[in-house]
Amino acid sequence: MSDNLAINGGPKAITLKQEEALRWPILTEEDEQAVLSVMRRNETSLSEEPMKLEKEFAEYLGADYALAEINGTAALYAALFVLGIGPGDEVISPSYTYWASAMPAATLGAKVIFCEVYPDSLDLDVEDFKKKITPKTKAVIPVHLWGVPCEMDEIINIARNNNIAVIEDACHAHGAEYKGRKTGTLGDFGIFSFQASKNLPGGEGGMLITNNRDHLYKATTLGHYRRAAGLPEEYSKYQHTCLGFKHRMSPLHAAITRVQLKTLDEKNSIRKNNIEKLLKAIEELPGFHIYWPPPHINRVYYENDVVYRGEETGIPIERLIETLKAEGAIVRRDRYPLLHQQPYFIERGSNPEDLPVTREINEHVMALPTFPGDDGRLVEQYIGAFIKAARTF
């Protein structure tokens, strides 16, 4: 391989076509047939498809109850609604996450208290969670960010001792495990998204998981008026109004999600094999800090984010990314718009200067591809590109 960087006019390290190796979701004729079948049965609105998905996904997870929702955001809203969270209450969430982890609590009138994350796993910092608890705290939302399960035993212990509910945001973590149990089954609620980019992609859709039957009934009554009819009187009396929303999942999306569920584990392991080959190689290069979870955590890869510290190599992250892009790599800064720095939360009392660890780490994260359809050849070329770029350090 030539040492002459592509950014300086040398040959590119990555020459393979990338579209197929990086394509996501991977939809096949089986997905097409499943959608066609729903259409031909004239079940594009009312159908058993979402209920079948509930049963299959609950079985996969080892959970008692699952409720298919229109998306993950709606499922999170439903969990908070079931807990009766509203004005005067506080809910703890990381700031380093997608907005839907925190906004449903704010929409219900609660105050969101943002919490630090660990600089290596990027998950909720247990000590900071403990510090943020007040008598008003009603729930905590650990987010299994990018597919890394949070330290659930510690979080649940603290929550139980303080009468706080645990809502796992498992939207990045379909199939991940914590001490042998699937994420999404550990807290009072588990929340999943089936949006097209997710590891279990249905196009759009979501799922609420709980082991509490009354919680299931109340969530059903919130957003599934037809299904409320079959519940005990305390809930069924609302069947003609429900409690305010229509959260029914589209049968077409449920049909795709059901097909995709059959290959979830296999697809998770293709990502894992490819990504970990790359991470093992770049771990040897200066400036990169790769997080390997402890043995009790079996992560999945929703995104492939790594921490790179330009101050250790003299090459700033932007410059490294430009160098890698010139080599043909698809890489980018992965800076989350931190929630405590957004106008909505600043207007409601958040201080954008808070959370120094979260702010610092957010400047050092780089997203690399997940190689979901790669037979291993593209990853090899990426390793070559990183090694070549690192020669400039």
Ligand X SMILES: Cc1ncc(COP(=O)(O)O)c(C=O)c1O
Binding site for ligand X (CB under 6 A): 71-73, 97-98, 100-101, 143, 169, 171-172, 193, 195, 206
Residue 14, CA distances (Å) to 287, 303, 308, 322, 391 in order? 22, 21, 21, 14, 16
Token look-up 């569920």 returns: 261
In the complex with ligand X, which residue's Cβ is closer, 172 or 215? Answer: 172
In the complex with ligand X, which residue's Cβ is closer, 203 or 369? Answer: 203
In the complex with ligand X, which residue's Cβ is closer, 72 or 190? Answer: 72
In the complex with ligand X, which residue's Cβ is closer, 219 or 326? Answer: 219
User: Shortest approach of ligand X to residue 163 CB, angstroms?
Assistant: 24
Q: 143 near 123, Cβ under 8 Å?
A: yes
In the complex with ligand X, which residue's Cβ is closer, 71 or 313? Answer: 71
Query: What residue number has its CB nearest to ligand X?
Result: 72
Strands 90-94 and 137-140: parallel
Query: Within the chain, what is the greatest distance between any pair of CA atoms?
Result: 74
Cβ neighbours of residue 261 closer than 8 Å, sequence gap 6 or more: 53, 56, 57, 60, 200
User: Shortest approach of ligand X to residue 73 CB, angstroms?
Assistant: 3
In the complex with ligand X, which residue's Cβ is closer, 169 or 374? Answer: 169
Strands 297-298 and 206-210: unpaired
In the complex with ligand X, which residue's Cβ is closer, 141 or 231? Answer: 141
Cβ neighbours of residue 301 closer than 8 Å, sequence gap 6 or more: 146, 147, 199, 268, 271, 272, 275, 370
Token look-up 């007040």 returns: 134
User: Shortest approach of ligand X to residue 302 CB, angstroms?
Assistant: 8
Token look-up 């979080």 returns: 155
User: Shortest approach of ligand X to residue 206 CB, angstroms?
Assistant: 5
Cβ neighbours of residue 254 closer than 8 Å, sequence gap 6 or more: 47, 49, 50, 52, 53, 68, 202, 205
In the complex with ligand X, which residue's Cβ is closer, 79 or 385? Answer: 79
Q: How far apart are CA 151 and CA 174, in angstroms?
A: 16
